[in-house]
């Protein structure tokens, strides 16, 4: 058998050694790649025939960073900093030629080179905080020296990428080239060799307009945006060292902090989410050969909050969309809201002013359902009622072109029943967006009994195109997310009846890392919707019903579970609500007791884990990681806690099972461990040990 192609190879172009990294798919810096680069650089440095070097990559991208799959093992020499020190110390100029993305260790590699040349479409960034770590290859020391402390702090604490033109303006790359990247890099290397120029970022002083202010601002921003996460604070400390200490000491500190974070529970959770997100898009039986339809035009039926948000997703991604309503007034209201949202984004600097008009122009309003005929995908977002939805689908069946995907945005209803209203159930799928649909990343793709695999493949491709994180789920009441939310909601209600107050329940979840608890969330969403559904189904919820009877529908009426004074969105605990709670507890014959935060957390989260286990047993989610993705991207589960199933595994499933058994004694069936929990715990295993879906 022929030897496999080397991961790093050197070719000569005259007196320039062109070192190519060829490790698909993303040229990550595995041990083998690091060894290859080091050997190539040392050989070129020692070769009297070589005057300069270019480091470039094959394939779709420059280096996407360290190889994350190696993080669970101890670092093996040559570690990245050893490789980069060799480049830095090279006696010959080294030029990095960047295309695609230079991320994490990839950007660090480029920063250790003496020059950086990029194509205009390239992007660079240090996304390590998104994995719960900080750069470990000198990024926190070299980036402030290249771009200044303010820019470096912004990039390292956010983990966001910037484009090549912005990187040029910031001093991170030296040239953005329009034409042949390799040729330009080789020419530059040769020219610099002739000049004998070999500037090293380590020899520069990091600059700051006002360092003290920059660090204080970064800390304040992170306290808001990355509450409870360790990595951003460590990143700030490392950048502080870039101006306060000599380069080598800064590098040392960076490595110590990075190594500590790599071993942390937070980073393990965030890495789990990184891989789970990618796994979720892989569906057994659906592969590259499954034909995915290209969506050239979409249609959305219903211009309410959800429909409008969904139409925005298409318009923002460059997909023309027909927005259908039944009355001119409703259509006008929907369009005005969409415009308002885009204009607000433009005011905040998130969108160019002319982009507002470009996007609005992609939305074609219509009062005639027959106008869906030109669409490759129709998303129904009308009132949440099976009868109404079935009627709409029967109509869609008449008007939509053959082969068009017919999607419902239902959050709880039976997708199979809706599909049965058409003569083409194989074309029907659930596309469950989360509110606000133009912002929230999650898309539950609900696979009906008869949904064609090609429709699932098309939905997955569409999700990627409109910037959503898709998870394929089965048809069951509430699908994955809302089904588990209900399990949590039942306990939230009981806790308040038994002795807790809404503000305590909410604070426990907020402290855990959720953006808000169930009561503040209810007030935000509006309590009247649940009230209406309860009345239709003949159900009651004593406290919530009384709030609604008093017109307390949440933020929109200035009062709900909390008070909202003078149009404020800040919830203020209300003695009137406490009085209702005490009365209803008494009426139910419950002797209220003090409930500690630990019990509240367990009572809220363990039923979710249990419901998640049932969802897995029933095959409604393919993998525990899929459930984690639903909760992180759809409901604000803190990413550094890795989602409910990962959280349970991290606590130990046997301990979770024991606590469930204990709670089941006084709190009933929500806590009786699901058979899957029992089985895994008995075997000393966790959800992570489940075999991959076949």
Give residues 549-608 in contact with ligand 3H9 (rule: CB under 6 A): none
Nearest in space to 458 (alpha carbons), one of 407, 424, 389: 407
Stretch touching ligand 3H9 by CB under 6 A, among 126-134, 263-271, 334-342, 431-439 = 126-134
Evaluate the CA torsion angle 52, 55, 59, 62 in order and state its sign: negative
- Whichever of 143 and 608 has its CB closer to ligand 3H9, that residue is 143
Which one of 64, 181, 236, 521 is in contact with ligand 3H9 (CB under 6 A)?
64
CB of 524 to ligand 3H9, least distance (A): 31
Q: Contact 300/322 with Cβ under 8 angstroms?
A: yes
Is residue 68 close enough to count as binding ligand 3H9 by CB under 6 A?
yes
**477 Cβ contact list (under 8 Å, min separation 6):** 412, 483
Question: 499, exposed or middle or buried, with CB in 10 Å at 0-12, 13-18, 19+?
Answer: middle
DSSP-assigned states of every residue in 406-419:
EEE--SSS-HHHHH
Question: What is the C-alpha to C-alpha distance for residues 686 and 694, in angstroms, rounded to an integer?
Answer: 19
CB of 251 to ligand 3H9, least distance (A): 11
Nearest in space to 599 (alpha carbons), one of 671, 521, 514, 520: 671
CB of 145 to ligand 3H9, least distance (A): 16
Is residue 67 close enough to count as binding ligand 3H9 by CB under 6 A?
yes
Question: What is the C-alpha to C-alpha distance for residues 520 and 403, in angstroms, rounded to an integer?
Answer: 43
- Whichever of 103 and 206 has its CB closer to ligand 3H9, that residue is 103
**3 Cβ contact list (under 8 Å, min separation 6):** none
Task: Annotate 184-248 with three-state secondary structure.
Answer: HHHHHHHHHHHHCCCCCHHHCCCCCCCHHHHHHHHHHHHHHHCCCCCHHHHHHHHHHHHHHCCHH
Nearest in space to 424 (alpha carbons), one of 443, 444, 401: 401
Stretch touching ligand 3H9 by CB under 6 A, among 123-131, 391-399, 436-444, 648-656 = 123-131
Is residue 469 close enough to count as binding ligand 3H9 by CB under 6 A?
no
CB of 106 to ligand 3H9, least distance (A): 7
Stretch touching ligand 3H9 by CB under 6 A, among 64-72, 143-151, 518-526, 603-611 = 64-72
Is residue 278 close enough to count as binding ligand 3H9 by CB under 6 A?
yes
* Residues annotated as catalytic (active site), given as ranges: 108, 128
| Secondary structure letter of residue 53 according to DSSP | E
Question: What is the C-alpha to C-alpha distance for residues 171 and 150, in angstroms, rounded to an integer?
Answer: 13
Which one of 16, 26, 85, 653 is in contact with ligand 3H9 (CB under 6 A)?
26
Is residue 154 close enough to count as binding ligand 3H9 by CB under 6 A?
no
Per-residue mark of binding to ligand 3H9, 71-90 (x: CB under 6 A): ---------x----------
CB of 229 to ligand 3H9, least distance (A): 15
CB of 130 to ligand 3H9, least distance (A): 6
Stretch touching ligand 3H9 by CB under 6 A, among 114-122, 128-136, 355-363, 580-588 = 128-136
Is residue 66 close enough to count as binding ligand 3H9 by CB under 6 A?
yes
CB of 470 to ligand 3H9, least distance (A): 13
- Whichever of 128 and 628 has its CB closer to ligand 3H9, that residue is 128
Per-residue mark of binding to ligand 3H9, 235-264 (x: CB under 6 A): -----------------------x------
Which one of 36, 93, 136, 250 is in contact with ligand 3H9 (CB under 6 A)?
136
Is residue 24 close enough to count as binding ligand 3H9 by CB under 6 A?
no
Question: What is the C-alpha to C-alpha distance for residues 125 and 663, in angstroms, rounded to an integer?
Answer: 46
Per-residue mark of binding to ligand 3H9, 96-115 (x: CB under 6 A): -----x-xxx--x-------
Here the tokens at position 530 are 């649940």
- Whichever of 100 and 481 has its CB closer to ligand 3H9, that residue is 100
Which one of 36, 65, 148, 502 is in contact with ligand 3H9 (CB under 6 A)?
65
CB of 291 to ligand 3H9, least distance (A): 20
Question: What is the C-alpha to C-alpha distance for residues 114 and 359, in angstroms, rounded to an integer?
Answer: 42
CA distances from 607 to 592, 628, 655, 677 (A): 22, 15, 14, 12
Here the tokens at position 180 are 């042949």
- Whichever of 78 and 526 has its CB closer to ligand 3H9, that residue is 78
Rounded to an integer, what is the distance from CA 586 to the centroid of its chain? 44
Beta pairing, strands 405-408 & 428-433 = parallel
Is residue 470 close enough to count as binding ligand 3H9 by CB under 6 A?
no
Name beta bridge partners: 365. 323
- Which residues bind to ligand 3H9, rule: CB under 6 A? 25-26, 28, 61, 64-69, 80, 101, 103-105, 108, 127-128, 131, 135-137, 139, 258, 275, 278
């Amino acid at each position: 058998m022929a030897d496999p192609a080397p991961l790093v190879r050197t070719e000569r172009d005259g007196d320039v050694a062109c070192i190519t990294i060829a490790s698909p798919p993303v040229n990550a810096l595995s041990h083998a790649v690091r060894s290859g680069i080091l050997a190539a650089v040392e050989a070129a440095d020692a070769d009297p025939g070589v005057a300069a070097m270019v480091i470039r990559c094959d394939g779709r991208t420059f280096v996407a960073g360290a190889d994350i799959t190696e993080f669970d093992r101890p670092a093996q020499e040559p570690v990245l900093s050893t490789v980069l020190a060799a480049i830095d110390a090279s006696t010959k100029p080294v030029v990095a030629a960047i295309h695609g993305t230079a991320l994490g260790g990839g950007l660090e590699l480029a920063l250790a080179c003496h020059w950086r040349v990029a194509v205009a479409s390239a992007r660079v960034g240090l996304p390590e905080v998104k994995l719960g770590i900080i750069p470990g290859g000198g990024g926190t020391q070299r980036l402030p020296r290249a771009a200044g402390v303010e820019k470096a702090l912004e990039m390292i604490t956010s983990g966001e990428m910037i484009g090549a033109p912005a990187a040029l303006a910031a001093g991170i790359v030296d040239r953005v080239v329009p034409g042949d990247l390799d040729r330009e890099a080789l020419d530059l290397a040769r020219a610099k060799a002739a000049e004998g120029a070999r500037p090293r970022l380590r020899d520069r002083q990091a600059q700051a307009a006002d360092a003290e202010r920059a660090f204080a601002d970064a800390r304040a921003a992170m306290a808001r945006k990355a509450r409870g996460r360790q990595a951003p604070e460590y990143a700030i400390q490392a950048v502080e060292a870039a101006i306060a200490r000599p380069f080598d000491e800064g590098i040392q500190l960076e490595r110590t902090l990075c190594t500590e974070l790599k071993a942390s529970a937070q980073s393990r959770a965030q890495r789990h989410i990184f891989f789970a997100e990618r796994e979720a898009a892989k569906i057994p039986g659906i592969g590259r050969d499954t034909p995915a339809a290209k969506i050239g035009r979409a249609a959305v039926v219903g211009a309410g909050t959800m429909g409008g948000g969904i139409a925005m997703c298409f318009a923002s991604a460059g997909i023309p969309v027909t927005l259908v309503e039944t009355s001119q007034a409703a259509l006008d209201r929907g369009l005005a809201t969409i415009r308002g949202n885009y204009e607000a984004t433009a005011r905040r600097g998130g969108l160019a002013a002319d982009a507002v008009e470009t996007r609005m122009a992609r939305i074609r309003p219509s009062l005639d359902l027959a106008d869906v005929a030109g669409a490759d995908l129709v998303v129904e977002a009308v009132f949440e009622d099976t009868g109404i939805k079935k009627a709409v689908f029967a109509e869609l069946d008449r008007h939509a072109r053959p082969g068009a995907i017919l999607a419902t945005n239902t959050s709880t209803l039976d997708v199979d029943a809706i599909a049965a209203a058409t003569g083409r159930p194989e074309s029907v799928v659930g596309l469950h967006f989360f509110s606000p649909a133009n912002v929230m990343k999650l898309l539950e793709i609900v696979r009906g009994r008869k949904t064609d695999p090609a429709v699932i493949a098309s939905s997955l491709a569409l999700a990627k195109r409109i910037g959503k994180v898709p998870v394929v789920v089965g048809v069951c009441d509430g699908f994955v997310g809302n089904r588990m939310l209900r399990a949590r909601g039942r306990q939230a209600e009981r806790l308040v009846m038994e002795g807790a107050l809404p503000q305590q329940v909410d604070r426990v979840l907020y402290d855990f890392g959720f953006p808000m608890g169930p009561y503040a969330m209810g007030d935000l969403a509006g309590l009247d919707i649940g009230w209406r559904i309860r009345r239709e189904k003949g159900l009651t919820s004593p406290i919530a019903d009384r709030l609604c009877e008093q017109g307390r529908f949440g933020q929109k009426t200035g009062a709900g579970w909390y008070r909202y004074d003078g149009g404020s969105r800040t919830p203020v605990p209300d003695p009137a609500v406490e009085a209702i709670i005490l009365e209803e507890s008494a009426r139910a014959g419950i002797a209220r007791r003090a409930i500690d935060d630990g019990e509240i957390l367990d009572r809220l989260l363990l039923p979710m884990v249990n419901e998640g286990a049932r969802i897995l047993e029933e095959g409604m989610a393919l993998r525990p990681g899929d459930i984690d993705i639903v909760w992180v991207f759809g409901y604000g589960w803190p990413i550094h806690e890795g989602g409910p199933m990962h959280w349970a595994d991290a606590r130990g499933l046997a301990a979770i099972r024991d606590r469930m058994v204990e709670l089941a004694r006084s709190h009933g069936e929500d806590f009786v461990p699901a058979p899957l929990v029992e089985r895994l715990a008995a075997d000393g295993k966790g959800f992570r040990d489940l075999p991959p879906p076949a």
